[in-house]
Amino acid sequence: MAKEMCHLITLLAFSFCCLTFAFDPKPLQDFCVADPNSSVFINGMACKNPMQIQANDFYFRGLHLRGNTSNPFGFMVQPVTVAQLPGLNTLGISMVRIDYAPWGINPPHTHPRATEIITVLEGTLQVGFITSYPEYRLITKVLYKGDVFVFPVGLVHFQQNVGNKSAVAIGALSSQNPGAIFVGNAVFGSNPTISSDILAKAFQVDKKVVDLLKAKF
Ligand SMILES: *[C@@H]1O[C@H](CO)[C@@H](O)[C@H](O)[C@H]1NC(C)=O
Ligand SMILES: *[C@@H]1O[C@H](CO)[C@@H](O)[C@H](O)[C@H]1NC(C)=O
Ligand SMILES: *[C@@H]1O[C@H](CO)[C@@H](O)[C@H](O)[C@H]1NC(C)=O
């Protein structure tokens, strides 16, 4: 019994350690405004001299602007991560505005470092994410104005505007630098490209199909 308890405690301790590391580290000071000119390589970005920070380091203007959705997918993302708003450095949070043309999609992708919670400001979105191996279950729902939906960290997810009007959503993400991996681009559009032999075997299709897909990305 005591031995089982000990195993349970070890397991719990292990889960706590790894849950902590699944998100951006906690700040050790009030702020650490990113210094884009620093040549120091650290996890995150080096701090600007705190005596030289200004209100504008914590500020971004532009999320009222409609994104240009004239592209084959019919969507546009305006990120507000540490790259656009240096005051986000070390704070473990960021946001995006996503615009969708009628029937436009935000193609399947993952954020390797963040959970994303979105709210629909205008329009109707079909959203979904896929659970991980071995289940691969699709969790999907239609969202209307004011609805909120969460995409758990790391899972492949997508959105489609299922209305005849343009749609807008705002997303919040649990990392200053969530990253984005679009499945199609990563697999078929890498640089240099993954060999067609590998992809043909991986997807169990003819090399011609792979080459067609590679040409799209
Ligand atoms: C980075 O360097 C450029 C060029 O020297 C300078 O104009 C800019 O103000 C610097 N940025 C910061 C945040 O120190
Ligand atoms: C939107 O993007 C398309 C394609 O890149 C471009 O041709 C068009 O001029 C852009 N429209 C605006 C209003 O910027
Ligand atoms: C979109 O427009 C088409 C054609 O006008 C119409 O048949 C359809 O019902 C509309 N769909 C929605 C969701 O409004």
Instruction: Write the pLDDT tens digit of every residue in 112-143.
Output: 999 999 999 999 999 999 999 999 999 999 99
111 among annotated binding-site residues: yes
Q: Which residues line ligand 1 (CB under 6 A)?
A: 35-37, 48
Tens of pLDDT, residue by residue over 60-87, are 999 999 999 999 999 999 999 999 999 9
Give the burial string for 185-217 (b: 16+ CB within 10 Å, else e): eebbeeeeeeebeebbeeeeeeeeebeebbeee
7 among annotated binding-site residues: no
205: left (phi over 0), alpha (psi -120 to 50) or beta: beta
Is residue 80 within 8 Å of residue 96, measured between CB atoms?
yes
Instruction: Report the CATH superfamily, name and number, of domain 58-188.
Output: Jelly Rolls (2.60.120.10)
Closest ligand to the CA of 71? 2
Can you give the pLDDT at residue 17?
45
Q: Identify the helix (H) or strand (E) that includes residue 186.
A: helix 183-188
Give residue 12's pLDDT band: very low, low, confident or very high (50, 70, 90).
very low
Atom of ligand 1 nearest to the CA of 37: 1
Mean pLDDT (the chain) is: 92
Is residue 184 within 8 Å of residue 107, measured between CB atoms?
yes
Closest ligand to the CA of 76? 2
Length of the chain, please? 217
Q: Is the pTM of this model over 0.95?
A: no
